[in-house]
Every structure is written in structure tokens, then in C-alpha cells.
Amino acid sequence: MGKQKLEAQFETVLARGDQAFVPYIMAGDGGMEETEKRLAFLEACGATAIELGIPFSDPVADGPVIQAAGLRAFKAGTTMKKVLDHLKAHPRQVPIILMTYFNPVFAYGLEKFAADCANAGVDGLIIPDLPIEEEEEIAGELAKCGLALIRLAAITSPKDRLEEIASRSDGFLYAVTVTGTTGTRTNFHDNIEDYLDFLSSISRVPVLAGFGVSSPEQVRRLTRYCSGVVAGSKIIELFQHGETEKIRALVESAKQQAAPNQL
């Protein structure tokens, strides 16, 4: 379970010639019963793993769609403990990655947080406001419990920093494709291909591109240069509008991608 489950899932998906697709949803958006329905749907669609956001009052990496989802989750009474209790009561085959900020983790207690995540069936953590210079204590607690700490790589970072981040990342390396916050986009950074190529050449774990991924065409473009994608804002928008078949099509767009020299 935990890190091993996540890594085994990536190995299986990539070995059969697919690219990884990790959708993001906000825990408690519409209530935990609705969250459970969305988790089940995404798992049935063939998501490689599911990133589950924890609502937070100051989500510095999140764009307006995810911020609004967080506010809806707050209004529904969502808390970290309620999310972990729900996951423990509703185990899933698909790996679950929690996305949260450091303050709620610190307030929860680092050791207790790691243990409760492991007991709830969480497999990995993304903490976007935690720089590698300050991660030692929480990284140690997560490692004790067999949980992956997935690091984010910024497209504006120098190569030596990207190399250090890549050397530390568990599960997968999250390649941020834009400057700014999450949200659907029509364009990515000018150097996106070179950036993803570089990360893929130095990373010991799969590289997944995220922030702004919103169409099958973007999925196909980005996965020429990396092992998969993460999509959040578009998934939330489609769930809000009841357009679940478009979500299915987005997930399936990562399957059986041609090799880069065939595209």
C-alpha cells in the first residue's frame, strides 16, 4: 500500500502502453456523499490515481475554479478529519493522493497526520507550499508510514534545483506547465517541450504535467514528452455541469498514446 501501491500502478499503466491520467477533485464539494460518487466514477473511468484536495482558506496554488470548489466544501462542513474518516470507511482500489497545504498538516500534528493518512488508505501527498528546504520533518514522518511525497517542479526553476527536486520525488514528479495558479488554459509556457524532456531525462519516477490541462488534444500533446498528466479545474467544471461523458473522454485520451516519433 502507500508509495508501493502508487508506484506499482504507474508501472502497470505505462507497461501496457498507456499514459497516466490523474484527475483532481475537491473533497466535500457537494458533500462527502457526492465526493464518493465522483471517486467511484473516476475509478471506473480508468484513472491511474485520484488527487483529492482538502479545502483550505488560503490556497495559494489554486485558481478560481478550485477556490470556488473549496468554498463549497467548507460550507458543507468538510474538514481534514472528516475526509480521512471517509476514506478509511470507503477503501478504494485506485491510489489516492491528498493535496493539502502545510498549515492544516502542521495543525493536525505531523506524526498523527502521517499515521492517520496511512490508516485511511492514502497513498501519497502533494503539499504545494512546502519547499524542499523545509520538508525534512514531514517527509520523514510520511516515509515512516510508507507514503509518497510528490514534489512539484516549476518551469521557472534553474536546472540544478530541478535536478534536486527530481532526485527526491516519490510516486511521480509533478511538472507545473505554467507560471501562476491552476485553471484551464489554451496555451502553455513557450519552453514546455524542452522542460518536460529535461525532467523526463533526469527523473527516477514518472513525470506528469499539470496546471491548465483541459482537453484531449492537450493531453496528447503533453504526453509526447512525459508519462502523463494531472487535470483538475476542467474535471471540477465538468462535474458541476453534469458532463460526465466529457470527463470519461478526457481520461481515455491518455490511453494507448503513440510514441513521440510517430506523432
H or E element, residue 3: helix 3-15
Choose among 207, 225, 228: nearest CA to 151. Answer: 207
The 10 Å CB-count burial string (b at 16+, else e) for 130-154 is bebeebeebbebbeebebbbbbbbb
Q: What count of other Cβ atoms lies within 10 Å of the Cβ of residue 64?
A: 11
H or E element, residue 42: helix 32-45
Catalytic residues: 51, 62
**Which single residue is written with the C-alpha cell 504545494?**
128
Q: Identify the bridge partners of residue 174 per DSSP, sorted by sequence position.
A: 152, 208
**Which single residue is written with the C-alpha cell 528546504?**
133
HSE-up of 155 (CA within 13 Å, CB side)?
Answer: 21
State the Cα angle at 13 between 20 and 43, rounded to 5°.
Answer: 70
**Which single residue is written with the C-alpha cell 488560503?**
58
Choose among 54, 112, 97: nearest CA to 79. Answer: 54
State the Cα angle at 232 between 226 and 159, rounded to 5°.
Answer: 40
